[in-house]
Amino acid sequence: MEKMRIGIVGIGKISGIYLNNLTGMFGKRIKITELTDLITERAEKAAGDYHIKAVKTADDLVKSPDVDIVLNITQPQNHFEVAMAAVRAGKHVYNEKPLCVKREEAAELLKAASANKVRVGAAPDTFLGAGIQTCRKLIDEGWIGRPVAASAFMLCHGHEHWHPAPEFYYKTGGGPMFDMGPYYLTALVNLLGPVTRVSGSAQKGQAERTITSEPLNGTAIKVDVPTHITGVLDFASGAVGTIITSFDVWSSSMPFIEIYGTEGTLQVPDPNYFRGEVRLRRFREENWSVIPLVLCEPDNPKDKDNWQRLNNWRGIGITDMAEAIVEGRPHRASGELAYHVLEIMHGIHDASALGTYYQLKSSCQRPQAF
């Protein structure tokens, strides 16, 4: 099959796993031809390590005749500008999460892509991993009957105790919902379908936080965004969901995601990862059953490479998009799905601020199961 050629913009923290996986486990299906970063040394180092051509600017890369898809792994506030440049140059683009910071930007990006007949894809792609795909299969095969409700919890105490520069998590575009919500909401939409309306309550646990990680230990951060957000989701299917994302919780024993059906309950593994334990308990059963994962060879914990391969499939979303373009079929980690998730996250914050329900204007198809 013809291989799509990828150009990467942004050689930061997350780029390592993309470079490894797109040249490694997905290397037979996709080819990285160029990369760039504002910080020249980063681009040159990666170019040397992976034998890929480094170009000077994102503008050079998006206009290159050797690039079909731009992989945009810059920080969220740069997603729109880089993606629009790609689309204007007639290139497909795949953004890291969130699709863009603002709904208006994301809508403009999708409109421009449609006008230029190019595709938009976006992370997260963890819902294409063995864990959530196993849950999808169980739901689609009716093991819990008809899903009637779901709950999701992302509870932690923020990132200032480990991240070297954590301030952005507490500024516009940050907060626990925009940081981690894409993983949880993408998983929920993949499992239960689109959402029609949301409500929510968002609070700030502390007006100021103190960094305890190095090198900024002792520095105060003024918190500008809500850090505990409770949302209610009405799915088009009739199911009702609850999601709590928080940077104000020291400890908790809540599950990641549970789906409640007319015939049983399904425990979904951490949607931030590609696999994990899937547990099912059907009505009248006394115990939970751990369900073998689909898409996986038997695990061998002694084989580290195998464990890594099975556990981190980052890049599967853009690989699926590349193949979908060649095959002329829809890709799974789509711009429409990412836009719907972005609108849900903003809608929960709007509902809290305005004291009303927020009716979703967007919708999307459930991506096809693997």
Ligand X SMILES: NC(=O)c1ccc[n+]([C@@H]2O[C@H](COP(=O)([O-])OP(=O)(O)OC[C@H]3O[C@@H](n4cnc5c(N)ncnc54)[C@H](O)[C@@H]3O)[C@@H](O)[C@H]2O)c1
Binding ligand X (rule: CB under 6 A), the pick from 52, 58, 189, 324 is 58
Give kind and range of the element (H or E) at residue 162. none
Judged by beta carbon, residue 201 or residue 272, the one nearer ligand X is: 272
Binding span for ligand X by CB under 6 A among 11-19, 201-209, 301-309, 329-337 = 11-19
CB of 106 to ligand X, least distance (A): 13
Residue with Cβ nearer ligand X (57 or 356): 57
10: contact with ligand X by CB under 6 A: yes
196 three-class SS: strand
User: Phi/psi of residue 286, each to 5°?
Assistant: -85, -25
* Part of the chain binding ligand X (CB under 6 A), chosen from 12-20, 22-30, 114-122, 342-350: 12-20
**Strand intervals (E) in 62-194:** 69-72, 92-95, 120-122, 147-155
As measured in angstroms, the least distance from the Cβ of 84 to ligand X is 11
Q: Which of 3, 31, 42, 88 binds ligand X (CB under 6 A)?
A: 42
Total chain residues near ligand X (CB under 6 A): 21
Burial of 274 (0-12, 13-18, 19+ CB in 10 A): buried
User: Binding ligand X by CB under 6 A: which of 6, 34, 67, 97?
Assistant: 97
Which sign does the torsion angle of CA 36, 39, 44, 50 carry?
Answer: negative
The C-alpha atoms of residue 70 and residue 307 are separated, in whole angstroms, by 29
Tokens of 272: 């931030």
Q: Is 39 in the site for ligand X (CB under 6 A)?
A: yes
Which member of 82, 87, 233, 280 binds ligand X (CB under 6 A)? Answer: 82
Q: How far apart are CA 177 and CA 45, in angstroms?
A: 34
The span of 67-75, 194-202, 238-246, 316-324 binding ligand X (CB under 6 A) equals 67-75
CA neighbor of 187 nearest in space, from 123, 96, 264, 100: 123
* Collapsed DSSP state (helix, strand, coil) of residue 191: helix
Q: Is 149 in the site for ligand X (CB under 6 A)?
A: no
- Residues of this chain that interact with ligand X (CB under 6 A) are 9-15, 36-39, 42, 58, 73-76, 78, 82, 96-97
